[in-house]
Amino acid sequence: MTLTGPGSASRRSLLAAMGAAAIGITFTACGEKPGTATAGAGEGSNLNFYNWDTYIGETTLADFKSASGIDVNMSLFANNDELFAKLKAGNPGYDVIVPSNEFVTRMVQANLIQPLDHTKLPNLKNIDPTFLNPDYDPGRKYSAPYTWLVLGIGYRKSKVKSVPDSWKWLFDSDQYKGRIALLSESADLIRLSAKYKGHSVNDIPPDLVAEIEKMLIRQKPFVKAFHDDNGQDMLVAGDVDLVLEYNGDIAQVMKDDPDIGFVIPKEGSLINSDSLCIPKGAPRPNNAHAFINYMMDAKAGAAISKTIMYPTPNAAAKALMPESYRNNPVIFPPAEVMARCEYGAFEGAEKAKFYEEVITRVRAS
Amino acid sequence: MEQSWKSARGIFAAALALPLFWLVVFFLFPLGIVWLYSFGENRGLTDIALTGTLSNYLRALEPLYLKIFVKSAGIAALTTGLCLVIGFPVALAITFAPPKAKGWLLMFIMLPFWTNLLIRTYALIAVLRNEGYINQSLRAGWGLANGLATRLGQAPLASFQPVELLHNNFAVVLGLVYVHLPFMVLPLYSALDRLDTSLLEASLDLGAGHLRTLFRIVVPLALPGIASGVLITFIPALGAYLTPDLLGGPDSQMIASVIERQFKRANDWPFGAAMSFLLMYLTFIGIAIQGALSRKSREPG
């Protein structure tokens, strides 16, 4: 069920596999120090931030410290499942976390995150209004937008007959047999297949899922591998010519390899969005609000985007970015393309189990 | 001076206390919790109710999952067999190597253990992939042959097609054999090293050939070593997770990956726990068989 997060560059998968994600990376070794100016009353001057790997600006934490006096200890997780599993057993002391859209709903339902106090977040005014009322968190009660991204097809231009602008080429055709890699995310595969069949990514009826299962079993012999969000590496290395990947991951490798292209199929796709949230039981909610507000600052946001190269929902930050980022059609697909994309909603634990079993069947067939 | 532990109960208890504490608190207790989970049901998103249900086990025994179990066991058995066939001559060679070389040879066997499994697996990917070292060498060789052919006035060869080495079951078995070979060689070596060489001399003196001596004398005497080598290769190979995940293709799903997905993506811990424990029951059966074998080999034949 899960969107492995957005920024999921291959580095994340590597990290996950090494189990290194559990090890916090302490940026500031110093412990408690007398609180300074803006630090919340009685909370000391530090903050525990639980983030994705390679998902923050190079100097963001140091800049925040000089602005507010708060030391940020950043630890890293590799995917939403890890984040959820960790908080499920009780908050071990995190103040700010970065779940993806569907998981915001899931964690709200599981009573794991607390509402945000918008009066402490004046920088919400910088956010593009289209991101202020998403289905997964109406009114942004629990989450402040950080980045977003969209799934599409990364491809090697010299090896395809024409731009592969339909999910057909991944899910329902032997045209590129043995040269396709799919993301091994059960829910994403089923939802995008539903999109290909002309249905929404949500509320997929069981008979359509059965049809999708048949289609994927038929397609499996033509698939080279199910990748763990390292599709861009497989594409660069020449292992495959078509991959299901996030736009940000492909944008990173397109800079070095002009033979790589990215397209969002004409049927539409899945949007993901990472948000800043405060988990229940956070020891320093005031510092957490100050940090989230700082992350939505125009200059700070632009510095982050410069490093991580993912689309930003922060309109003021985007305005400060160079032309090559703002007008990159891979990072910011045209509005008419985005209009065909949807967020995948959290539809309950049973659905997650069901999708997982369908893909287990496909892979075992 | 040897002393029975009975005459020094206090010291014995003191020495045992810490490891026992460790074993109970950090191994048996958490394992017990997972075992209890396997009889539970999900309640909402974060809670598991221990209802004593057997439905998780029944679901794990459905044809879909049974097939994956059987397939994983097949891949593990193939891996173990290959490890035995490759590892036995290696262990034999180390046994009969000069004492000075022995230490070095054993170190070379253990060297891979000093490298993280993930790094070793990625190294294999770099060797096997379409643009990897094997295919690049083949491509260079193909280019040379092509140049030679045209110089001799022959028609040029067809363009080079890389050999598909990665993302299939072949890569999984290769990776598993590569990772588990030391598990096989070391117990075999320790069994063969204890071998009484006078028995081999007697066999050769009495007219048996080398092969006959190997199969009639060495192999039966090394049987306990073979059994423990087979066991400690088969068990981790059966539960292998990283290797099939990274090297495998769409057909290479093994049971450990399915279990991992229950704990993470599917958020179905009871079902994952039931499958883990089925795997553990299989392990116990394997240990029992091995125990029976080694008892049998100790009986005078």
In this predicted model, which residue has the larger pLDDT, B222 or A277?
A277
Chain A CB within 8 Å of residue B266 CB: yes
The DSSP element (H or E) to which A343 belongs, if any, is: strand A342-343
β-pair type (A144-156, A242-246): antiparallel
Chain B CB within 8 Å of residue A200 CB: no
Chain A CB within 8 Å of residue B139 CB: no
Mean pLDDT, to the nearest integer, of A227-244?
90
In this predicted model, which residue has the larger pLDDT, A15 or B232?
B232
Chain B CB within 8 Å of residue A227 CB: no
Chain A residues whose CB is inside 8 A of the B270 CB are none
CA distance to partner chain A, nearest, from residue B37 (Å): 14
The DSSP element (H or E) to which A247 belongs, if any, is: helix A247-254
B131 within 8 A of B123, measured Cβ to Cβ: no
Q: What percent of chain A has pLDDT above 90?
A: 63
Q: What is the pLDDT of residues B92-113, one digit of tens each?
A: 999 989 989 998 999 998 888 8
Nearest beta carbon to residue B250 from set A18, A228, A363 = A363
Q: How confident is the model at residue B158 (pLDDT cuts 50, 70, 90)?
A: confident
DSSP tag of B41: E
Chain A CB within 8 Å of residue B260 CB: no
Q: Which residue of B has its CA nearest to A14?
A: B118
Q: Let me know whether B237 and B272 are in one domain.
A: yes
Q: Let me know whether B156 and B171 are in one domain.
A: no
Determine the Cα–Cα distance for residues A97 and A171; give it in Å rounded to an integer.
34
pTM for the structure as a whole: 0.81
Handedness of CA B142, B148, B152, B153 (dihedral sign): positive
Q: How confident is the model at residue B179 (pLDDT cuts 50, 70, 90)?
A: very high
What's the pLDDT at A228? 80
The DSSP element (H or E) to which B29 belongs, if any, is: helix B29-37
Chain B CB within 8 Å of residue A185 CB: yes
Secondary structure class of B188 (helix, strand, coil): helix
CA distance to partner chain A, nearest, from residue B108 (Å): 24
What's the pLDDT at A352? 86
For A71, list phi and psi in degrees, rounded to 5. Answer: -85, 130
Chain A CB within 8 Å of residue B137 CB: no
B44 located within any domain: no
Interface test with B, best of A91, A179, A213, A224 (most B CBs within 10 A): A224
Kindly list the domain boundaries of chain A, sorted by start residue: 10-148+272-332, 150-271+339-364
* A 15-54 residues inside an 8 A Cβ radius of B: 17-18
B221 located within any domain: yes
Chain A residues whose CB is inside 8 A of the B271 CB are 353
Determine the Cα–Cα distance for residues A253 and A132; give it in Å rounded to an integer.
30
- Taking an 8 Å cut-off on Cβ atoms, the answer to whether A364 and B253 are in contact is yes
Residue B218, pLDDT above cutoff 60:
yes
What's the pLDDT at A298? 94
Q: How confident is the model at residue A39 (pLDDT cuts 50, 70, 90)?
A: very low
Determine the Cα–Cα distance for residues B177 and B121; give it in Å rounded to an integer.
12
B40 within 8 A of B53, measured Cβ to Cβ: yes
- Taking an 8 Å cut-off on Cβ atoms, the answer to whether A237 and B130 are in contact is yes
Q: How confident is the model at residue A229 (pLDDT cuts 50, 70, 90)?
A: confident
- Taking an 8 Å cut-off on Cβ atoms, the answer to whether B167 and A112 are in contact is no
Determine the Cα–Cα distance for residues A158 and A261; give it in Å rounded to an integer.
10
Q: Let me know whether B73 and B199 are in one domain.
A: yes
What's the pLDDT at B250? 87
- Taking an 8 Å cut-off on Cβ atoms, the answer to whether A352 and B267 are in contact is yes
Residues spanned by the domain of B105: 64-117+167-298
Q: How confident is the model at residue B5 (pLDDT cuts 50, 70, 90)?
A: low
Mean pLDDT, to the nearest integer, of B227-234?
91
Chain A CB within 8 Å of residue B127 CB: no
Size of interface A-B (CB pairs under 8 A): 93
The tokens 């609180």 sit on which residue? A35
Residue A350, pLDDT above cutoff 80:
yes
The tokens 């423990």 sit on which residue? B228
Nearest beta carbon to residue B131 from set A81, A237, A360 = A237
Residue A28, pLDDT above cutoff 50:
no
CATH topology assigned to domain A10-148+272-332 = D-Maltodextrin-Binding Protein; domain 2 (3.40.190)
Beta strands across the sheet bearing A46-52: A71-77, A46-52, A96-97
Give strand pairing partners of B43: B47
Nearest beta carbon to residue B250 from set A225, A238, A361 = A225
Chain B residues whose CB is inside 8 A of the A349 CB are 42, 44-45, 267-268
Determine the Cα–Cα distance for residues A247 and A201; give it in Å rounded to an integer.
18
B39 located within any domain: no
Number of residues written out for chain A: 365
Q: Let me know whether B160 and B101 are in one domain.
A: no
Q: Which residue of A has its CA nearest to B260?
A: A81
In this predicted model, which residue has the larger pLDDT, B157 or A87?
A87
Determine the Cα–Cα distance for residues A19 and A25; give it in Å rounded to an integer.
13
Q: Let me know whether B149 and B173 are in one domain.
A: no
Mean pLDDT, to the nearest integer, of B187-212?
87
CA distance to partner chain B, nearest, from residue A327 (Å): 33
CA distance to partner chain B, nearest, from residue A351 (Å): 9
Q: Let me know whether B86 and B231 are in one domain.
A: yes
Chain A residues whose CB is inside 8 A of the B251 CB are 220, 363
Give strand pairing partners of A76: A51
B264 located within any domain: yes
What's the pLDDT at B11? 83
What's the pLDDT at B1? 52
Nearest beta carbon to residue A224 from set B118, B249, B261 = B249
Q: Let me know whether B88 and B208 are in one domain.
A: yes
Handedness of CA B286, B289, B295, B297 (dihedral sign): negative
DSSP tag of B223: H
Chain A residues whose CB is inside 8 A of the B46 CB are 88, 110-112
Q: Let me know whether B224 and B80 are in one domain.
A: yes
What's the pLDDT at A322? 92
Q: Let me know whether B228 and B291 are in one domain.
A: yes
Chain A CB within 8 Å of residue B46 CB: yes
Interface test with A, best of B42, B45, B131 (most A CBs within 10 A): B45
DSSP tag of B216: I
Q: What percent of chain B has pLDDT above 70?
A: 96
Residue A36, pLDDT above cutoff 60:
no
β-pair type (A260-263, A278-279): unpaired
Closest CA to A132 of A291, A275, A246, A6: A275
The DSSP secondary structure of A41-86, one letter per residue, reads: TTSTTEEEEEEETT-S-SSHHHHHHHHH--EEEEEEESSHHHHHHH
Mean pLDDT, to the nearest integer, of A328-346?
91
CA distance to partner chain B, nearest, from residue A363 (Å): 6
Q: What is the pLDDT of residues A43-98, one digit of tens each?
A: 788 999 999 888 898 899 999 999 999 999 999 988 888 898 888 888 989 999 99
Q: How confident is the model at residue B249 (pLDDT cuts 50, 70, 90)?
A: confident
What's the pLDDT at A34? 35
What is the overall mean pLDDT for chain B?
88
Mean pLDDT, to the nearest integer, of A144-154?
93
Report the domain count for chain B: 2
B294 located within any domain: yes
CA distance to partner chain B, nearest, from residue A267 (Å): 25
B75 within 8 A of B176, measured Cβ to Cβ: yes
Mean pLDDT, to the nearest integer, of B30-51?
88
Determine the Cα–Cα distance for residues A83 and A177; give it in Å rounded to an integer.
36
B58 located within any domain: no
Give strand pairing partners of A275: A145
The DSSP secondary structure of B123-152, one letter per residue, reads: HHHHHHSTTSHHHHHHHHHHHHHHHHHHHT
Chain A residues whose CB is inside 8 A of the B72 CB are none
Can you identify the CATH homologous superfamily of domain A150-271+339-364? Periplasmic binding protein-like II (3.40.190.10)
Nearest beta carbon to residue A1 from set B242, B248, B265 = B265
Chain A residues whose CB is inside 8 A of the B262 CB are 356
Count of C-beta atoms within a 10 Å radius of residue A158: 9
> Six-digit token pair at A140?
């942004």
Determine the Cα–Cα distance for residues A200 and B26; give it in Å rounded to an integer.
47
B44-53, B79-88, B124-133, B231-240 — most confident range: B79-88
Chain B residues whose CB is inside 8 A of the A109 CB are 45
Q: Let me know whether B110 and B179 are in one domain.
A: yes
Q: Which residue of B has its CA nearest to A360?
A: B258
B31 located within any domain: no
Chain A CB within 8 Å of residue B242 CB: yes
Residue A26, pLDDT above cutoff 60:
no
Q: Let me know whether B286 and B143 are in one domain.
A: no
What's the pLDDT at A35? 36
The tokens 């020891």 sit on which residue? A283
Q: Let me know whether B153 and B280 are in one domain.
A: no
What's the pLDDT at A29? 36
What's the pLDDT at B14? 84
- Taking an 8 Å cut-off on Cβ atoms, the answer to whether B268 and A353 are in contact is yes
Nearest beta carbon to residue B64 from set A186, A221, A364 = A364
What's the pLDDT at A38? 46
- Taking an 8 Å cut-off on Cβ atoms, the answer to whether A225 and B264 are in contact is no
Residue A99, pLDDT above cutoff 70:
yes
Mean pLDDT, to the nearest integer, of A230-246?
91
CA distance to partner chain B, nearest, from residue A180 (Å): 11
B166-199 in b/e form (b: 16+ CB < 10 A) is bbbbbbbbbbbbbbbbbbbbbbbbbbbeebeeee
Nearest beta carbon to residue B265 from set A110, A186, A239 = A186
A269-292 in b/e form (b: 16+ CB < 10 A) is bbbbbbbbbbbebbebbbbbbbbb
Residue A274, pLDDT above cutoff 50:
yes
What's the pLDDT at B292? 82
For A6, list phi and psi in degrees, rounded to 5. Answer: -50, -70
CA distance to partner chain A, nearest, from residue B136 (Å): 12
For B152, list phi and psi in degrees, rounded to 5. Answer: -85, 5
What's the pLDDT at A292? 96
B215 located within any domain: yes
